[in-house]
Each structure stands twice: as structure tokens, then as C-alpha cells.
Amino acid sequence: MIGIIDYGMGNLHSVLKAFEHVGADVEIITSAAQIDAADKIVLPGVGAFQDAIRTLHEKELAAAIIESVRSGKCFLGICLGLQLLFDVSFEDGEHQGLGIIPGKVKRFDFSTHPHKDILKIPHIGWNSLKMRNGCPLYREVADGSFVYFVHSYYVVPDDSSVIATTTEHGIEFVSSIHRENLFATQFHPEKSQRVGLQMLANFASL
């Protein structure tokens, strides 16, 4: 069973329906015990990093998430669920994340960019993926495929070997990561039509 963590800040309905569409056995889960019991974990998220990390700790979910990844359980983070994996975010101050992936979360800054007048923040809409490390999430997904983004912040891993894809928006930023059993995307597979459904099917079949 794939457990989608509900901590009050995820686009749960869309993620749930997308997994159901590809035939996955999936449930919404809300407790550390359910995280432990699930075969695979999905951490979606939209909104502010500070509120999300505080809520994960208040609901006693943070430690269970960290342990599930360390145990080798397949894990998928989506959007804010990617950013929360990192050491620190600089969204509205400085806030400690889950610390599973060394690195930081930064805001796009185009103030000195030669095309600053046309580069929008947040980055919203369809953009393409440049494949980097043969991530199994992208089996049968073509290099250059378009996926759907909504974000103002992006991750900067300390270890470049975890980078699965990059995308261009003023800069070349990390749009997904992969390390062993852990997968996470800045974009929304559940909103990325056929390409995104293929990714979710790939995750379900791991």
C-alpha cells in the first residue's frame, strides 16, 4: 500500500486520484503508525516551508518520515515535499528541514538577470526536464518531457549525484532528485497529464 501523508498542506485529492488512475493501492494516512505500516510513502505539499515543518513535528510525523527513508522504504516527495527533505530553507527567514538530503532551499532571484522583466516568480506552468542520472522514476519518459510547476523556491543539494533532472527558468535549477529509495520532484506529477501518470505508475511498480 502507498500511503499519502496528510498533514494539512498537500494537494491530496489530485495525488490520490492520479495514483488510483494508474491502478495503485493507495490511502491517505495521518499518523506515524500508518507511515510505519505503509509499503511506500508519498509526501506532497503546497504552502510555506515554516508552517509545514512545524506541523510535521507537532503531529509527530517528522521522525517517522526520516526513519521510513532510512529503512529503505520507497519515498516520493512532491513540490514542498521535496524541499522539506533538505537541511535548511531560506523562505521567510531560516528554517531547519528534515535533514535527509544535505543542502538548502533558495528563492529565485532575477534582480540582476538580463531578462528579469520577463522571468516571473513564482515559476508557474509547463517546462521541460533534462535527465541526469538514469532515475527509475523516469522509465519510459523521454528526455525533454514537459511537466507542470508552481514554485518560487528551488533546492540546491550539496551532493550533485542526487540530481535526477534539471530545468531552465532563468537559471538551470534542480527539478528532481533521486538517491537509492528516495525520489522527489519540484514539479507536480499529478498535474502533468500522461507524462506525470507514467512517473506515478513507475513509482507504484518499484
Is 9 a residue whose pLDDT tops 90?
no
What mean pLDDT is predicted for residues 10-14? Answer: 86
Q: What is the pLDDT of residue 66?
A: 98
Asked if residue 173 lies in contact with residue 154, where contact means CB atoms within 8 angstroms, the answer is: yes
Q: What is the pLDDT of residue 3?
A: 98
5-9, 54-58, 84-88, 178-182, range with the lowest pLDDT = 5-9
What mean pLDDT is predicted for residues 148-162? Answer: 98
For β-strands 101-107 and 86-89, DSSP reports them as: parallel
191 vs 8: which has the higher pLDDT: 191
Q: What is the pLDDT of residue 192?
A: 98
Q: What is the pLDDT of residue 116?
A: 87
Structure-block grid coordinates of residue 80? 514542498
Q: Report how far residue 158's alpha carbon sits from residue 86's, in angstroms, rounded to the nearest whole number.
A: 10
Q: Indicate the average pLDDT of the chain.
A: 96
Query: pLDDT tens digits, residue range 28-62?
Result: 999 999 999 999 999 999 889 999 999 999 999 99
Is 176 a residue whose pLDDT tops 90?
yes
Q: Is the dihedral of CA 204, 126, 104, 135 positive or negative?
A: positive
Q: Report how far residue 160's alpha carbon sits from residue 146's, in angstroms, rounded to the nearest whole number.
A: 22
Helix (H, G, I), strand (E, B) or coil at 139: coil
Query: pLDDT tens digits, residue range 114-154?
Result: 988 999 999 999 999 999 988 999 999 999 999 999 999 99
| Percentage of the chain modeled with pLDDT above 70 | 100
What values do phi and psi take at 56, rounded to 5?
A: -60, -40
Is 10 a residue whose pLDDT tops 80?
no
Helix (H, G, I), strand (E, B) or coil at 136: helix
Q: What is the pLDDT of residue 11?
A: 78
Query: Is residue 190 flagged as an active site residue?
Result: yes
Helix (H, G, I), strand (E, B) or coil at 21: helix
Q: What is the pLDDT of residue 140?
A: 97
Question: Is the pTM above the cut of 0.85?
Answer: yes
CA dihedral 149, 150, 156, 157 (to 10 degrees): -60
The residue annotated as part of the active site, out of 74, 79, 95, 178, is 79
The residue annotated as part of the active site, out of 74, 151, 169, 190, is 190
Q: What is the pLDDT of residue 133?
A: 80
Does the structural domain 2-205 have CATH classification 3.40.367.20?
no
Q: How far is CA 159 from CA 57, 102, 103, 137, 185, in A?
A: 26, 7, 8, 19, 16
Asked if residue 189 lies in contact with residue 78, where contact means CB atoms within 8 angstroms, the answer is: yes
| Percentage of the chain modeled with pLDDT above 90 | 95
- C-alpha closest to that of 123 among 106, 135, 140: 106
Q: What is the pLDDT of residue 26?
A: 98
Is 90 a residue whose pLDDT tops 90?
yes
The residue annotated as part of the active site, out of 95, 151, 169, 188, is 188
Q: Report how far residue 60's alpha carbon sits from residue 104's, in angstroms, rounded to the nearest whole number.
A: 23
Query: Is residue 115 flagged as an active site residue?
Result: no
Query: Is residue 58 flagged as an active site residue?
Result: no
Asked if residue 71 lies in contact with residue 99, where contact means CB atoms within 8 angstroms, the answer is: no
